[in-house]
Chains A and B, each alone.
Chain A
Amino acid sequence: MYPELGQIALILALLLAVLLSVVPLAGALTGRDSLQAFARPLASGMFVFTGLAFAILTHAFIVDDFSVAYVANNSNSMLPWFYKFSAVWGGHEGSLLLWILMLTGWTLAVAVFSRKLPSTMVSQVLSVMGMVCVGFFLFIIVTSNPFDRLLPNVPTDGQDLNPLLQDIGLIIHPPMLYMGYVGFSVAFAFALAALINGRLDAAWARWSRPWTTVAWSFLTIGIALGSWWAYYELGWGGWWFWDPVENASLLPWLSGTALMHSLAVTEKRGVFKSWTVLLAIVTFALSLLGTFLVRSGVLTSVHAFASDPERGSFLLMLLGITVVGSLALYAFRAPVVHVRSRYGSLSREIFLLLNNVLLVTATLLVAIGTLYPLVLDYLDMGKLSIGEPFFNTTFSPLAIAAGLLLGTGIFSRWKKTDGGWLGRKLLWPLAVSLVASVAVIKMYGDFKPWAFAGVFTAMWVTVATLWDLWDKSSSRKGRLHGLKRQTRSYWGMVLGHLGVAMVMAGATVVSNYGIERDVRMVPGDSAMVGDYQIVFKEIGDRRGANFTAQYGSFDVLLDGKKVSELHPEKRNYPVGMSVMTEADIDAGLFRDIFVAIGERISDEAWAIRVQYKPLVRWLWLGSLIMAIGGFLAIADKRYRIKARNEAADKARAGNLVTGKPAEASS
């Protein structure tokens, strides 16, 4: 009974989405307020019905309703309740429903937080969001209905959730990632609305900036969680594999980062408008591409759910319509470049432009490396794969260039920066970062050119960011007052850039100075990894809620002193007949010690992987700091004050038209 209600709720939501994509837009185009007034109620209704469908599916999981095919395939009565809950998005259909729930959630958020925007703009934005919703509602209802029943032969128990996904990382990773992916639809909707009504100005940039930043922050957290999960759950200690699915999430992140920066220029200086709009379209298209890659089964990956050609072609069609439609609109409506404000060839505008060039180049490279094998395969021109070395050799120089540029650009000024002044300004930060990076490299061991380049770049970004903060916060009333005077969006930028530096430092150090050893060990043996001694004490059996495990005990010693005790496991899940390696990690701010049990070699001996991972935590910590920076930036008072000023401006303008003196209104 309930599942059918869920199905009906989805269909109702689809109908509301169709109305939302037509009625308010028609109202905006014909100037009828009565039609535009439908936008907000329709957006709310759509969210309510999708939420209802999601709640019903969750209910089916919690009460073990195995007559629902999706529940039977992804759950089991022995599963702990919190995994039953997260299993809702453990498969294709449910994760798509989660995706749609977030899409309608973002739509509702736009409806709620746009009170101060002109109503035509709101109607158009919500209509565009409605169109995106229609596509995805059709997709789920036509190809991937999560409420399909297995009747009359209801299975007595489910097939269990893949043990890899029975983890805290999976509970939060997909929702965060989807929040990011889907969030870019708002930037997309704003861009399209601006193209439709031809209002591509600083106000538009200011409205879409916070939405873009929030989506970007969520995506950052989502990617970092995925990397962290891979590190301890399936990666045997790897944290980024340049797997097509990871790349699929990195693509919108890269272009989204470019979009954030170019939006800043558009808002502050009113230039790069067409470019910004194009980036907004591209970023959302890349989010869709990511969904297509992950969900269509064209990829060999952990994330490849059921490969159903029908789903693949449906998504490809959706992607095609979005890209062709929005680019056509762009071609007709994008403003012809008329540069009103001038900027010199050495100015903050140019630095941000270069940043965009590098980020877009990086996006292209990752896209080529990801799509090239797929295209060749599709054309039947052979099967090949492009491995990590390709991405490492091409991506690292770009990352370093972007970092060096960032540190320099922080000191630049809008409009025009004096070259000599900039050079003198850079001298000291440069010297400090150089000395500091030499010291860091010395501490870690051998000099390697790439390691030095990476560490120096991270140091340079850090020093330049803090130097600028120091300069800006000087005040006659004291340093504390100066620091307090900085805006939240400035603090957001500082944190964002420090986060990037941390990620760079972590990635460089762990890739260059990490140690990874596979050793054959018998209980009583010990192995060295870096300065640490790992002693294999014993291995025994253990029973968990829905698995049995071989449970190892290891001591970690540094200079003969015990630092910690680790218990990696090899788990056996009887329901799905699957084996899982659970590594154990002694985590620290400056290094991780990682021990995982491999296979049994003989009666006594085991293959054991031991790893020393310096600064690996900085990857995720840095990402978190970046995301916090993003959230801080949107909390800036500016967005609210400016909105109020605008209303005042409008009132003033109205008064001028009617001939009353402007002062009278204020």
Chain B
Amino acid sequence: MHPIRKKRLTIVLFLVAGLAIAVGLTTYALRQNINLFYDPTEIAAGNAPVDVRIRAGGMVEAGSVVRDTETLKVEFKVTDFSASVPVEYVGILPDLFAEGQGVVAMGRLNNEGVFVADQVLAKHDENYMPPEVADALEKSSKAQNKAADVDKAAETTAY
């Protein structure tokens, strides 16, 4: 083969190999690490898979936060105002976690219908609402006509 063609072939082979490795790694990693989001209504209706790592989000229901005084265990309910899901978490909650605030939790749903969270995210601004939560609220509010309440909540502003 002509040396230049040979060189081009090597370059192309390198590129193809790199791409193949990338695609392989990506599909492998993606298959294991995609976390789907479910809102409380979907979870309460039994549409969310059990024992699969998912994201769940909504507002922390007022008066639902129960803290164990001897360990770091916390229980609370996440609601979209049409259904609510009990959540269990062991550890330190973020600064902006509070009743009536939007949160997103990562974790698994157990057989009793309790969402066991390994990570709880509340965003860094009292006005901020995770888009998933805003959407979930909007959806349930359309069903229930609670628009006024949610419009305010869905304004996602600032840092």
List the interface of chain A (C-beta within 8 A of B): 73, 90-91, 162, 164-165, 234, 236, 297, 300, 302-307, 337, 339, 342-343, 345, 350, 353-354, 357-358, 360-361, 364-365, 368, 372, 382-387, 389-390, 393-394, 397, 518-520, 576-581, 596, 598-599, 601-602, 605, 607, 609
Contacts and interface: CB of A to CB of B under 8 A. Distances in A.
B37 A365 contact: no
Interface string B88-99: 001111011000
Contacts of B22: 361, 364-365, 394
B159 A91 contact: yes
A130 to B, nearest CB: 32
B36 A384 contact: yes
B48 to A, nearest CB: 12
Interface residues of B, number: 51
B17 to A, nearest CB: 8
Nearest to B30: A390
B25 A365 contact: yes
B124 A598 contact: no
A162 B124 contact: yes
Contacts of A91: 158-159
B106 A382 contact: no
A354 B14 contact: yes
Interface stretch (B65-73, B79-87, B141-149): B65-73
Contacts of B151: none
B95 A579 contact: yes
A383 B37 contact: yes
A520 B70 contact: yes
B92 A393 contact: no
Contacts of B111: none
A579 B96 contact: yes
A394 B26 contact: yes
Contacts of A389: 29, 32-33
Contacts of B90: 518
Interface centre among B67, B156, B158 (most CB of A within 10 A): B158
29 contacts: A164-B159, A165-B159, A234-B124, A300-B130, A302-B159, A303-B159, A306-B157, A339-B4, A343-B7, A350-B10, A353-B14, A354-B14, A361-B21, A365-B25, A383-B37, A384-B37, A386-B30, A386-B34, A389-B32, A390-B30, A390-B32, A393-B25, A518-B72, A520-B70, A520-B71, A580-B95, A601-B67, A601-B68, A607-B72
A302 B124 contact: yes
B126 A297 contact: no
Interface centre among B8, B15, B90, B104 (most CB of A within 10 A): B15
B72 A520 contact: yes
- The 8 lowest CB-CB distance pairs between A and B, nearest first, are A598-B92, A383-B37, A390-B33, A357-B18, A602-B69, A361-B22, A162-B159, A393-B29
A428 to B, nearest CB: 28
Interface in B91-139: 91-93, 95-96, 104, 106, 123-126, 128, 130-132, 135
A518 B33 contact: no
Contact of B106 (A354, A387, A578, A596): A387
A578 B110 CA distance: 34
Nearest to A401: B21
User: Mostly helix, strand, loop or mixed at chain A's interface?
Assistant: mixed
Contacts of B10: 345, 350
B11 interface: yes
Contacts of A164: 124, 159
Given A73-B158, A387-B106, 11 more contacts: A91-B158, A162-B125, A304-B128, A345-B10, A365-B22, A383-B37, A385-B37, A386-B30, A386-B33, A577-B126, A598-B93
A301 B157 CA distance: 11
Interface centre among A304, A306, A350, A518 (most CB of B within 10 A): A304
Contacts of B104: 300
Contact of A518 (B4, B25, B91): B91
A249 B113 CA distance: 40
Nearest to A368: B26
Contacts of B130: 300
B123 A302 contact: yes
A397 B37 contact: no
B19 interface: yes
A394 B92 CA distance: 29
B55 A385 contact: yes
Contacts of A342: 3
B66 to A, nearest CB: 12
B100 to A, nearest CB: 13
A637 B27 CA distance: 48
B35 A384 contact: yes
A607 B92 contact: yes
A576 B135 CA distance: 25
B159 A90 contact: yes
B126 A578 contact: yes
B33 A382 contact: no
A179 to B, nearest CB: 21
A387 B35 contact: yes
Interface centre among B28, B71, B92 (most CB of A within 10 A): B92
A394 B159 contact: no
Nearest to B31: A390
A394 B37 contact: no
Contact of A357 (B15, B32, B70): B15
A383 B159 contact: no
Contacts of B70: 520
A73 B69 CA distance: 39
Contact of B156 (A162, A307, A397): A307
Contacts of B3: 342
Nearest to A599: B93
A79 to B, nearest CB: 15
Contacts of A302: 123-124, 159
Contacts of B34: 384-386, 390
Contacts of B68: 601
Contact of B158 (A162, A350, A358): A162
A35 B76 CA distance: 70
B29 A361 contact: no
A390 B28 CA distance: 9
